Structure formats: structure tokens, C-alpha cells
Amino acid sequence: MNKTLKRVLAGIATATIGVSALAGCSSAQADGELTELNIDYATYSILSLVIKDQGWLEEELEGVDVNWIFSAGSNKANESLRAETADIATTGGGPAVQARANGTKIKTVYITHASEGFGFVVPEGSDLQSVEDLAGSTIAVTRGTDPYFFALQALEQHGLTADDVTLENLQHADGRTALENGTVDAWSGLDPIMASAELNGNEILYTDPSLISPIFLNANESFIEQHPETVQVVIDTYEKARQWVAENPEETLDIYMAEAGLEEDVAALALSRFNFENNPVPVQEELGPTLATIGGFMVESGDVTNQEAFDEALDTLFDPQFAETAVNGSTE
């Protein structure tokens, strides 16, 4: 076991240790039995791309097979977490609390970054010039993702509801394709696909970063209970990547281009809209207000069964202990 795994995790909760004890073994023993880590990577999570490219987890988790699973969107990441084909995966904040409210036993253990790369996109020269103009239009959007919850909020802010438009449920890349072939009038998109569409002549009709929470890294509760030291290694590695990105912008751009298959101008534009200076520790007081607003739309649209389920999910979603340990360790 390497030195990181040997580190005493002062932040591991008593409840976590209790679960391991009831299972007849300590957290370290449970961790020693781990042979495989299933973790996602996504083009909307640059830190995951950097970690995958650099091979840091493979170095830290000696004797453990690290399986990287591609997530095309938060909905796909949640599907992997729900099926337990992924132990740890990246989603938007809204999708994370929605998944927990609907019965997926996950905890948010780290905040990777914030992004301004969301918005309504229309074709060049479109007659649609404002959000109000979207009334009666068809909008491509991936249900259960941040662009979806952005769309619902943006419509309401401008006197519209989902009933005033037709929401075409398409995966992010397919939504961009539908926009450009004229199948839909607008697309609620995200970077880097949105950056590519913008540079291809499409226009951002409207954006408002305040409507979107940062990007969350989530872990299955059962994995946290059985392998807390491995979770700590993953979060330590994410914190290492966050600092590395800030110190190595050119190398980060190269990795982003290679791993996401992007042209340099697309990668540079998308990267310019990512903010890695956020607090990486998931704190209820900071993240709760935006998510509570989004929750109202989840209940109204039927994406969450009732307000009580949402409130319970939001109250129990965050597990800051691992990020706190990682941040404190990086400053020592």
C-alpha cells in the first residue's frame, strides 16, 4: 500500500467506520480487498481528463484496475451510478440532487469547477432574438442535465414555461446536430459542444451562469462505506489536478484537445469559461440556495416525485470530509 493510502484519515466519519466494523472488517481491510475502481471521465470535466491522461490514479492505486467510463452527460453519469457500473462519476449539481431524490444512493464528495458554458443557442441569422421569442419553438435539450434545468429557469424568468415550447429530449451532441440541420429551432447546450457550435457560426441567444451550480463529483454510498481510503485517494488526486491545471494552462489545453477530440480554438474558448478557483469542498450553505431553486422546477416538471423527497435529498447529499482532508493536506 502506498504512502497516500497509509495516511491516517482523520476526516473519516465515525458512522463510516461503524459500517465497516459491522461488516467484520476495518476500512483498511475493506480497501485492501479492492481490485477494481470504476470511475467516469467527461468532456465537461477537464480534471477527469487530466487525471486520466496523466495516469495518476493508476500510480496511486497500485494493484487496482482503474476502469475509465465515458459519460456523455450528467444523465449518463447518473445511470452508471444507479446501476453501480461506476463507483464515482461527475454530474451537474441539479442532476446529482435529482438522482438522490429519486433513490440513487450517492454523495457529493468534491466540487470540480464552475462553468459559464451554458446557454440557449440558435442558428446564425435566426429570427429568434430573445428568450421571449422562443414561445412556440422547439428546443433540443438533454433531460436531467444542467442545460435542462437552465432552460426551465430561463424560460420562467422571461414569462414562459415548458408548456410554451416543445422540449426535444436529445443527448448534448445530438441536440447540436439537430440545431444545425434545422430539426429544432434552438438548443440548450453546454461546453465544449456549445463552443464548437458558436465558432461554427451559431449564436448564443441567452446565458446566465447564476442559474447553474458547479460541477459535482459523486460517489456511491456503498463504495464510500466499503472503501473510504480509496475515495480519499481519488479526491486527493482531483485536488492535485485542480492545482496542476492552474499552474499548467498550456499543457491543460493540449490534454483537453486530445482527450475531448477538440480543435484548439474550440478547446481554448471552452476552457476560458471554466473556473477552477471555486471552493472544492461541497458546502450546503454555498450550494443549497441555487439547488433549492432548481428543485422547485424538478417537482413541478415531475422529475422528482414531491418536494419532501427533494428536500431530504438536498439535506443529505453532501459529504465534505474527503475534500476537507484533501484541501488541508495540500496546504501543509
For the stretch 236-267, pLDDT in tens is 999 999 999 999 999 999 999 999 999 999 99
Give the cell for residue 6: 497509509
Residue 250 is predicted with a pLDDT of: 97
| pLDDT band at 330; cut points 50, 70, 90 | low
Give the cell for residue 67: 476502469
Cβ atoms of 16 and 225 within 8 Å: the answer is: yes
Which of 5-9, 216-220, 276-280, 305-309 is least confident? 5-9
Closest C-alpha among 107, 77, 109, 70 to residue 92: 77
Strand-pair category, 106-115 with 36-41 = unpaired
Cβ atoms of 181 and 173 within 8 Å: the answer is: no
Domains in the chain with CATH codes: 3-116+213-330 (3.40.190.10), 118-206 (3.40.190.10)
**Does the N-terminal peptide bond of residue 192 adopt cis geometry, omega within 30 degrees of 0?**
yes
Judged against a pLDDT cut of 90, whether residue 217 lies above it is answered with: yes
Q: For residue 157, how many other CB atoms are within 10 A of its CB?
A: 12
Number of separate helices (H) and strands (E) present in the chain: 17, 11
What average pLDDT score do residues 175-197 get?
97
pLDDT tens digits for 58-110? 999 999 999 999 999 999 999 999 999 999 999 999 999 999 999 999 999 99
Q: Which residues pair with 219 in a beta bridge?
A: 88, 107
Judged against a pLDDT cut of 90, whether residue 6 lies above it is answered with: no
Residue 19 is predicted with a pLDDT of: 36
Question: The whole model's pTM is what?
Answer: 0.83
Looking at this protein, which amino acid is placed at residue 91?
Answer: T
Q: Which residues pair with 107 in a beta bridge?
A: 219
Q: How far apart are CA 270 and CA 158, in angstroms?
A: 26
Q: In what order do the strands lie in the sheet with 274-275?
A: 65-70, 36-41, 88-92, 215-220, 106-115, 274-275
